[in-house]
Each structure stands twice: as C-alpha cells, then as structure tokens.
Amino acid sequence: MEWETVIGLEIHTQLATVSKIFSGSPTAYGAEPNTQADLVDLGYPGVLPVLNEAAVRMAVQFGLAIGAAITRRSVFARKNYFYPDLPKGYQISQYELPIVGKGHLDVMQEDGTVRRVGITRAHLEEDAGKSQHEGHTGVSAIDLNRAGTPLIEIVSEPDMRSAKEAVAYMKKVHTLVRYLGICDGNMQEGSFRCDANVSIRRKGAEKFGTRAELKNLNSFRFVEKAINHEVQRQIDILESGGQVVQETRLYDADKDETRSMRSKEEANDYRYFPDPDLLPVVLDESFIEAQRAALPELPDQKAERFQQQYGLPAYDAQLLTASREMASFYEEVARAVPAEPKLAANWVMGDFSAALNKEGLDVGASRLSAAQLGGLLRRIVDNTLSGKLAKEVFEVMWADGSDADAVIEARGLKQITDEGAIGKVLDEIIAANPKQLADYRSGKDKLFGFFVGQAMKATGGKANPALLNQLLKQKLAP
C-alpha cells in the first residue's frame, strides 16, 4: 500500500517588540521569574489591555512579505480556557477576522524544485506564561514573564507532503521573519516554534485522512523526527486495520515518540467571542503603504539578485541568502574579489561555514570579519597563495584572528612564483631521477605527478602550481 503524507503547520512566532502586546512590561528573555509581568500581565481585577502598535506593524509587514491580503478591520477575540499560566482565564487572540489573510511562500526543496505552500492566515495573539512542574515538591511554579508576549500564529494550508518539505517550509518562514526583523528566531528560547497537523491518505485519494496535531515542536530536527514518527504510527494503525483518531499529541524528544495529550472529545470548547475591551484594529492605506515601504529586500528577491549580479547558481544563492547576516557577509567578501564572485561563494559556503558550524556560531559571532576573509581571497586571486596554502592560512586566521598577510609573512608561506627559482628546483629533481625521466619520456605519463610531488616537497608546497606545471612540461619534453 502506498501512502501519502499530508502536513500543515501552525508556526508561533514571537514578535521582537520591546514591550508586550497589551502592556508596557519588557519582553526580554531570561529575567528572574515574574519580574517582567505587570498588573495587566498578571490579570489583576480592573486592568485593561492596550494594543502595542509595534506588534501590528510587524504583523502587517509579515503579511505583505507573503503577498497576503491585509485585513482592514481585524478583531481581537477571547479564547477561554483555564490554566494557571493563563492569568485572565482567556487568551487574547484573533479568530474570525485575523490581521493577515491568505498568502503563500515558494519553498525550494532539497532536489532544487520549488513548491508553493499556501498560508491560510496569520493572526496576532498573546503568549501565555510558563508552568514548571519539575524542581518543586508538591507544587508547580508559574513564571508569567512570557505572558503577554506578542505572537503571530502563521497557519499553513495542508500543502506539504513529507517531513522534509515541512522543515523546508518552516526554515523559509524562519528566514523570512528574521529578514523582516520581526522575530529573533531563537528556537531554544521558544521564539519560533510550531505545531504540526499530520495525516496520511492512500496515494491518489482526494479526501484527507484523520489528522493528529503534534504540539510544541521547537527545533527543525524535532519537527522532522516527530512527523516521521507520527506518519509511521498512523501507517501502522491503518495497515493493521485500525483507525486514526483525531487528537492532540505531544512529541517527546528524549524518547523520540509522540503520545496522546487529549482526544477530540476532550478538546476545550474555547468559547471564542470578540474581546469587548479592545476596539477593532482598523488599518488605512497609508499605514499599510508605510509598512510596505519599510520592508527590507526579502530572501527571494535577494537570491534572485545574487544569481543575476554574481552569476551564482540558484543553489548557492539560496544558501547564501539564508540569513541577512550571511548574505551581507558574502557581499562584503565578494566586493574584495570583484572578478571572482564564485570563489567568494565557495569560500563562504565551504571553509568559512564549516568553521562556524564546528563551533556552533552564527555569522554575527564569527571569529573572522568579511574584510579578513576578503583579504585572504585576494591573495589567492593574485597568486600569492595556492588553494591548498590558503586553507592553511585560513586555519591560522580562524585560530588567532590575524589577517592573511600577517600569517603569510610570519610563516613564510608566500607562494613561489619566480620562474628561475622553480626552474632551478626542477632541474635538480630531474637530474636526481634519471630513470623516471627516461620512463616518462618513453610514455609513462603518470610519472608527471611524481615530479610535481617531488617539486612541492622541495618547496614546502609553496610553488605556484600553474607555473610549476608549465615549467615542468617544458623541461620534461624530449
């Protein structure tokens, strides 16, 4: 039996506002528990919410970036349920009239094809606080610092057909919100997390299968693992004649399994209704146009420009534009070697990214500046360094933060480009290896490499390879 997976994501994106969505408390992460919650966040009797305009601006910018219709009159609604980290007994969200309507994102897959993912809606809402059940005996602790932090919940259409596609889409959204500067994208701190609706159906079937909602997936790796696990679980059920039940399931990263949280029957009736404490959010044309004007160059636009301006393949352009920081780092490196944009791309995506990844650093925390890397590449372009030597120099630069020229000077790594000097070395080697010379001349072409190796050994690898090859050919010629 062939099964098709159907996935839709709900991505919760914390907006990078200074203060909360309905109060003046700061949103900074990591403060002592309950020090960033004022009376509004604590749901005190008599207090009222006041909407933070910055959150509205950010939501509109997101909507414009996905080509969505911006709702001119959106309405906040109360989602009612009891939980200790939800101080008011309801979450202020948007229900029937979300601020961002239908939009889409084009997502490049691993094989280079592009799949369009529909975005149903994105709505503004407040985050809840956090309950802590571990580390306390007999009680649970509640930290309301996060309560009232602005979120947009980005709801996709069920347009994804594999865990990998879902991750690619999620990464694309992640890239986009960081480009827009509306979210710090920090998944460890919960700034960017998602729920996944997963179902399977027979290949070719039109009707969707019964879905399970996987809650609170806070890393790309977990999204992929949780979906794959859930798909297998559903296949096992259906193939053994069972039925998938609609339910909410929690992914346990430690055990790599999902387990049921609550079934459809146990689901809350949230009793949504318009929040009478807040007026509808009415946006006029000039507000929306001002947000459009404030949009930065978006990832797709930048990738397109990189292909045009630098002649890069689509794959490179995609990779280099994965974050604004990476893109501008690349552009600065490329400026140092204007004739060799592909060389710059190879280095940024290759050795440089590898070095970052090895230490788990972001571009912003790089040990080397773009100017330093550009300085190194300049010495490749002007033949001071061979590619091999350049890698060695890079390692030293990465280790101690020095400039390429200083490393070259200090270690005497400068490439030998003097014809006379290389010629002299070659003459000595040829003289010392008459048998190999004779064999080469009688047709054993492979021995060319032997002479190159000997020459490199003698020069400590510093001989300019192109020049060496050229001179050696001349000298070996009968």
Partner 1 sequence: MDVTLAGLAAGLKARRFSSVELTREALARAEASQGALNTLISITAESALAAAAVADQRLARGEGGPLTGVPMIHKDIFCTAGVLTTCASRMLSNFVAPYDATVVAKLRAAGMVMVGKANMDEFAMGSSNETSYYGPVMNPWDLARVPGGSSGGSAAAVAARLAPLATATDTGGSIRQPAALCGVTGIKPTYGRVSRYGMIAFASSLDQAGVITITAEDAALALTAMAGFDPKDSTSVDAPVPDYAATLAAPLAGLKVGIVKEFFGEGLASEVEGPVREVLAVLTKLGAQVREVSLPSLPLSVPTYYVVAPAECSSNLARFDGVRYGYRCKDPKDLIDLYKRSRAEGFGAEVKRRIMTGTYVLSAGYYDAYYLKAQKVRALITADFRRAFGEVDLLLGPTSPTVAFGIGDKTSDPITMYLNDIYTIGANLAGLPALSMPCGFAGGLPVGVQLIGPHFGEARLLNAAHRYQQETDWHLKAPAGFKAGFAP
CB of 273 to partner 1, least distance (A): 6
By CB under 8 A, residue 232 contacts partner 1: no
Choice from 106, 110, 266, 277 touching partner 1 (CB under 8 A): 277
By CB under 8 A, residue 50 contacts partner 1: yes
By CB under 8 A, residue 137 contacts partner 1: no
By CB under 8 A, residue 369 contacts partner 1: no
By CB under 8 A, residue 20 contacts partner 1: no
239 vs 277 by CB, closer to partner 1 = 277
Beta bridge partners of 76: 94
By CB under 8 A, residue 39 contacts partner 1: yes
| Burial class of residue 46, CB neighbours in 10 A (0-12, 13-18, 19+) | exposed
CB of 287 to partner 1, least distance (A): 17
268 vs 301 by CB, closer to partner 1 = 268
Size of the site for partner 1 (CB under 8 A): 29
By CB under 8 A, residue 47 contacts partner 1: yes
Q: How far is CA 147 from the centre of its chain?
A: 26
Instruction: Mark the segment that binds partner 1 (CB under 8 A) among 80-88, 298-306, 359-367, 388-396.
Output: 80-88
The span from the CA of 424 to the CA of 167, in Å, is 58
Which residue has 């929306």 as its token pair? Answer: 288
The span from the CA of 447 to the CA of 267, in Å, is 76
Instruction: Mark the segment that binds partner 1 (CB under 8 A) among 54-62, 86-94, 314-322, 353-361.
Output: 86-94
Contact code string over 94-133 relative to partner 1, x by CB under 8 A: ----------------------------------------
Neighbouring CB atoms inside 10 A of 101's CB total: 17
Choice from 30, 45, 204, 360 touching partner 1 (CB under 8 A): 45
Choice from 30, 46, 420, 434 touching partner 1 (CB under 8 A): 46
Instruction: Mark the segment that binds partner 1 (CB under 8 A) among 212-220, 264-272, 334-342, 349-357.
Output: 264-272
30 vs 276 by CB, closer to partner 1 = 276
Between the alpha carbon of residue 310 and those of residues 58, 99, 307, 340, 431, the distances in Å are: 31, 38, 6, 9, 47
Which residue has 């390879």 as its token pair? Answer: 465
CB of 55 to partner 1, least distance (A): 14
Assigned token pair, 421: 């000097």
CA triple 410-359-175, angle to 5 deg = 120
By CB under 8 A, residue 54 contacts partner 1: no
Provide the residue count of the chain.
478
Q: How far is CA 433 from the centre of its chain?
A: 56
The span from the CA of 362 to the CA of 360, in Å, is 7
Choice from 89, 242, 338, 350 touching partner 1 (CB under 8 A): 89
By CB under 8 A, residue 271 contacts partner 1: yes
By CB under 8 A, residue 88 contacts partner 1: yes
Handedness of CA 163, 248, 121, 47 (dihedral sign): negative
Between the alpha carbon of residue 123 and those of residues 214, 243, 274, 382, 425, the distances in Å are: 20, 33, 14, 54, 72
Could you say which DSSP state residue 415 is in?
P
Neighbouring CB atoms inside 10 A of 156's CB total: 27
88 vs 462 by CB, closer to partner 1 = 88
Which residue has 């709702």 as its token pair? Answer: 71
By CB under 8 A, residue 2 contacts partner 1: no
90 vs 352 by CB, closer to partner 1 = 90
> Is-contact 345 320, C-beta < 8 A?
yes
Residue numbers of the site for partner 1 (CB under 8 A)?
A: 39, 42-51, 78, 80, 82, 84, 87-90, 140, 142, 269, 271-273, 276-279
